[in-house]
């Protein structure tokens, strides 16, 4: 059986990570949540009080930072920043906004893209992010571009936060999501963009099972 690479890109909160996780589980593959890696770098910058416009300070910080994804016995993903588990903290809304700003800095992208490519040498990966099918793995076997209405995305993100005990205003989240999409799509380095050969899935009215099944069917065609 061939070990393929599946790239899932798309705007904020469109369902990429939860779908990628299920696809990986079904295939016995590794799920690489690349957004979590950008979030980890953003968390470090927030802790140090470094803002995205201070490119020199970010460059220096990046040189002395490690971000790794680790998987426990239950295959649960842990995001390790300088060897400390930051999986929970990186989901806070202020980290989302900081991640969008800091991910435009070339040194940050170079560090994380190198790490992501190293994970993919043997295939058997499902990666989700913004630039997977266009930059990180332009030869990925299956490429998906996942979209959904901004309001629906805000409702889903509010529910995720609610499950963690964090109350968030849906309209504020919708504005934040749209702002982040704008930043991510208009930046000079690796902007959010559909790869020419990606399948578009609009998840506004789909269930997670339906979108997972679609990707699995495409993956199985390639696996043979
Ligand atoms: O889950 P959500 O859609 O809120 O965002 P995420 O995937 O965790 O990514 C957080 C931020 O990291 C995004 O807004 C992007 O700016 C950035 N990112 C990126 O630039 N490239 C990636 N491959 C993944 C995330």
- Probe target for ligand 1 pocket from 21, 103, 108, 117, with the most ligand atoms within 8 Å of CB: 103
What pLDDT shows up at residue 1? 73
Please compute Rg for the chain using Cα positions.
Answer: 17
Taking CA atoms only, the protein residue closest to ligand 1 atom 13 is 100
> Is pLDDT at 217 greater than 80 in this prediction?
yes
CA dihedral angle for residue 77, residue 134, residue 116, residue 105, rounded to 10 degrees:
-100
Residue 121 pLDDT level (bands cut at 50, 70, 90): confident
Nearest to 16 by CA among 178, 218, 201, 221: 201
The Å distance, Cα 140 to ligand 1 centre, comes to 19
Taking CA atoms only, the protein residue closest to ligand 1 atom 23 is 129
Residue 129 pLDDT level (bands cut at 50, 70, 90): very high
CB-based contacts of 28, cutoff 8 Å, min separation 6: 124
- Regarding the beta carbon of 103 and ligand 1, being less than 6 Å apart is answered yes
Give tens-digit pLDDT for 135-147: 999 999 999 999 9
Q: Which residue has the tokens 């959904």?
A: 148
Instruction: Read off the pLDDT of each residue in 2-24 and give the average, rounded to a whole number.
Output: 95
Taking CA atoms only, the protein residue closest to ligand 1 atom 20 is 103
- Regarding the beta carbon of 17 and ligand 1, being less than 6 Å apart is answered yes
Give the number of the atom of ligand 1 that is nearest the alpha carbon of residue 36. 8
Nearest to 144 by CA among 181, 195, 207: 195
- Regarding the beta carbon of 19 and ligand 1, being less than 6 Å apart is answered no
28: exposed, middle or buried (Cβ count in 10 Å: 0-12, 13-18, 19+): exposed
Give the number of the atom of ligand 1 that is nearest the alpha carbon of residue 136. 23
CB-based contacts of 191, cutoff 8 Å, min separation 6: 130, 131, 184, 185
Taking CA atoms only, the protein residue closest to ligand 1 atom 6 is 35
Rounded-to-integer distance, Cα 9 and Cα 95, Å: 20
Domain residue ranges in the chain:
5-205
Residue 195: CB atoms within 10 A of its CB come to 19
**Chain centroid to CA 214:** 19
Tokens of 70: 């680790």
Global pTM?
0.96
> Is pLDDT at 220 greater than 90 in this prediction?
yes
**Pairs from 182-187 (Cβ < 8 Å, separation ≥ 24):** 183/100, 183/101, 183/104, 184/11, 184/12, 184/100, 184/103, 184/130, 185/11, 187/103, 187/104
SS3 125: strand
The Å distance, Cα 224 to ligand 1 centre, comes to 31
CATH of domain 5-205: 3.40.50.300
Pair 36, 70: CB distance under 8 Å: no
Pair 152, 202: CB distance under 8 Å: no
Taking CA atoms only, the protein residue closest to ligand 1 atom 8 is 35
Instruction: Give the rounded percent of residues in the chain with a pLDDT score beyond 90.
Output: 93
């Amino acid at each position: 059986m061939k070990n393929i690479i599946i790239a899932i890109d798309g705007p904020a909160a469109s369902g990429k990570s939860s779908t990628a996780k299920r696809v990986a589980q079904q295939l016995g593959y590794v799920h690489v949540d690349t957004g979590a890696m950008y979030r980890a770098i953003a968390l470090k910058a927030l802790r140090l009080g470094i803002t995205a416009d201070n490119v020199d300070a970010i460059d220096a910080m990046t040189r002395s930072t490690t971000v790794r994804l680790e998987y426990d016995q239950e295959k649960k993903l842990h995001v390790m920043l300088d060897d400390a588990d930051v999986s929970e903290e990186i989901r806070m809304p202020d980290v989302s906004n900081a991640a969008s700003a800091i991910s435009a800095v070339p040194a940050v992208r170079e560090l994380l893209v190198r790490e992501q490519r190293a994970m993919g040498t043997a295939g058997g990966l499902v990666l989700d992010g913004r630039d997977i099918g266009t930059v990180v793995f332009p030869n990925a076997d299956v490429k998906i571009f996942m979209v959904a209405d901004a309001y629906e995305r805000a409702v889903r993100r509010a529910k995720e936060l609610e499950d963690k005990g964090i109350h968030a205003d849906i309209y504020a989240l919708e504005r934040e999501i749209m702002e982040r999409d704008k930043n991510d799509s208009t930046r000079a380095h690796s902007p959010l963009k559909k790869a020419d050969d990606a399948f578009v899935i609009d998840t506004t009215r789909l269930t997670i099972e339906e979108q997972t099944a679609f990707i699995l069917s495409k993956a199985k065609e390639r696996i043979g």
